[in-house]
Amino acid sequence: MRHFGLAGFPLEHSFSPGYFNSKFKQKNITGCKYELYPVREAGQIRHLFETDPNLEGLNITIPWKQEVIKYLDLLDDTAKEAGAVNVIRARRSGAGLLLEGFNTDVYGFIVSLPDDIKEDTDRALILGSGGASAAVACALRLLDISYYVVSRHPARDKIIYEELTAEMISGSKLIINTTPVGMFPDTEAKPPLDYDLLSHNNFLYDLVYNPAVTKFMEEGVRRGCRVMNGQNMLESQADRAWDIWNSTDL
């Protein structure tokens, strides 16, 4: 039996097991199972591969997309550029174990973004500074879109929410929430923006997918913004992960 799964914490409401197990059933893929691996330390992720010889690949989610890198043997170019990993592939030879890190969030974000936004956006706001934020920033660089990264805590190359100006908000056509704020079960929460500065000129992209319409998105719709949740990105990055796990060429 080939083992795959999702590692992170918490994982109770993850979409991944249902998506992959449905994929296995619909495509008549036998001999595979996908499970949740709640881990409280990034180092435990390597231990999962060391103790389960049938574990071939993991998706990595909050909060370990950046921290896990130190426990891997190789990174692909996109993961290096993003500074974050959301897919791990195991290569085994006898007792040897080689763990390779990839980032499919970058791919998932780019392919899910509407063409007109990719083509017509000059500047974006990225809300959050974790692993998902790093992937989105990498994608925006590839699309030649400038951006500000907004964090709750002061840091180099980032601004805090209190430093956001009216022009930064209204003048950023694309605003992406890369944080778990607003995710089930805390569905009433939203990033601390001045939403009254938004208009039909803004496109709000929430990487949260549960609920399908977050408070962040609701605030945008109320002011004429186009909005989008993270479901398409999740499915695209998951399909890319499956390709990686089944390829020896990447």
Half-sphere exposure of 213 (CA within 13 A, CB side): 7
Considering the domain architecture, whether residues 86 and 133 belong to the same structural domain is answered as no
Query: Would you say residue 120 lies in a domain?
Result: yes
In angstroms, rounded to a whole number, what is the distance separating the alpha carbons of residues 205 and 75? 28
- Into how many domains does the chain fold? 2
pLDDT surpasses 70 at 224: yes
> 117: exposed, middle or buried (C-beta count within 10 Å: 0-12, 13-18, 19+)?
middle
- Nearest CA to 238 among 27, 65, 87? 87
> Stretch 203-223: mean pLDDT, rounded?
97
- Nearest CA to 56 among 2, 6, 93, 101? 2
In angstroms, rounded to a whole number, what is the distance separating the alpha carbons of residues 107 and 88? 15
Model pLDDT for residues 80-132, shown as the tens digit of each residue: 999 999 999 999 988 899 999 999 999 999 999 999 999 999 999 999 999 99
Would you tell me the crossing angle of helices 105-112 and 231-245 to the nearest 10 degrees? Answer: 130
Considering the domain architecture, whether residues 91 and 110 belong to the same structural domain is answered as no
Query: Would you say residue 163 lies in a domain?
Result: yes
Domain containing residue 175: 106-232
Report yes or no: 3 and 54 within 8 Å, Cβ to Cβ. Answer: yes
Query: Would you say residue 244 lies in a domain?
Result: no
- Nearest CA to 130 among 107, 104, 158? 158
Considering the domain architecture, whether residues 89 and 173 belong to the same structural domain is answered as no
Q: In the prediction, which pLDDT does 248 show? A: 74
Sheet holding 55-60, edge to edge: 32-38, 2-8, 55-60, 87-93, 96-102, 74-75
Query: Would you say residue 239 lies in a domain?
Result: no
Is residue 65 flagged as an active site residue?
yes
Considering the domain architecture, whether residues 87 and 171 belong to the same structural domain is answered as no
pLDDT surpasses 70 at 178: yes
Considering the domain architecture, whether residues 83 and 29 belong to the same structural domain is answered as yes
Q: In the prediction, which pLDDT does 153 show? A: 87
**Which residue intervals of the chain are DSSP H helices?**
16-26, 43-51, 77-82, 105-112, 115-120, 131-142, 166-170, 215-222, 231-245
From 23, 25, 65, 190, active-site residue: 65
Model pLDDT for residues 154-175, shown as the tens digit of each residue: 888 899 999 999 999 999 999 9
Q: 250 falls in which pLDDT band (50, 70, 90)?
A: low
Q: In the prediction, which pLDDT does 35 show? A: 96
CATH of the domain at 38: 3.40.50.10860
- Residue 114's SS3 state is coil
Q: What are 64's two structure tokens?
A: 């370990």
- Nearest CA to 43 among 81, 7, 96, 76? 7
Model pLDDT for residues 33-65, shown as the tens digit of each residue: 999 999 999 999 999 999 999 999 999 999 999
Q: 12 falls in which pLDDT band (50, 70, 90)?
A: confident
Q: In the prediction, which pLDDT does 156 show? A: 84
Amino acid identity, residue 3?
H
> Stretch 25-39: mean pLDDT, rounded?
96
Q: Which residue reads 């426990």 in tokens?
A: 71
Model pLDDT for residues 188-205, shown as the tens digit of each residue: 999 999 999 999 999 999
Considering the domain architecture, whether residues 90 and 159 belong to the same structural domain is answered as no
Considering the domain architecture, whether residues 153 and 182 belong to the same structural domain is answered as yes
Domain boundary among 77, 103, 129: 103
